């Protein structure tokens, strides 16, 4: 058990020069996470359709932003262009808590990502 204290393998401490704890974010969504995003969007569409069928004149539905339709809208967020990001797009999974934020918080996300 002394190897656990020495810091080998999975229990090795992070290199301090890289800021301590290193959060490893994959460069693209894997199939299961992408399917989860699609399932969440489908559930939202069903819920909105059900509410719209019962209360078609609801004020919140009139002011609601349209749900994303294209893959670019579903899985990417527009951020400022940098030399390392010439497309100006950032994968949605690289945004913190993207599973918990509704899409109408994009302005907050954009302001957060522009400061980094």
pLDDT in tens, 37-53: 888 888 888 988 898 89
Alpha carbon separation from 47 to 60, 69, 82, 106 (Å, rounded)? 13, 16, 38, 21
Output the pLDDT for position 53: 92
Question: What pLDDT, in 10s, does the model give residues 49-84?
Answer: 898 899 888 888 887 777 778 888 888 888 888 888
Q: Write the CB contacts of 89 (distance below 8 Å, at least 6 apart in sequence).
A: 72, 76, 77, 78, 79
pTM for this one? 0.53
Q: With residue 2 as reference, give the H or E element that holds it.
A: helix 2-6
Question: What pLDDT, in 10s, does the model give residues 82-115?
Answer: 888 888 888 877 877 665 555 555 554 445 445 4
Q: Residue 114 — φ and ψ, nearest 5°?
A: -75, -20
């Amino acid at each position: 058990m002394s190897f656990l204290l020495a810091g080998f393998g999975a229990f090795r401490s992070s290199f301090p020069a890289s800021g301590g704890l290193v959060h490893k974010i994959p460069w693209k969504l894997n199939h299961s996470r992408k399917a989860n995003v699609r399932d969440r969007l489908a559930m939202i569409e069903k819920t909105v359709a059900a509410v719209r069928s019962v209360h078609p004149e609801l004020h919140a539905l009139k002011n609601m932003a349209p749900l994303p339709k294209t893959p670019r809208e579903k899985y990417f967020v527009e951020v400022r262009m940098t030399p390392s990001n010439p497309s100006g797009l950032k994968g949605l999974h690289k945004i913190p808590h993207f599973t918990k934020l509704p899409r109408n918080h994009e302005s907050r996300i954009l302001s957060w990502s522009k400061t980094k």
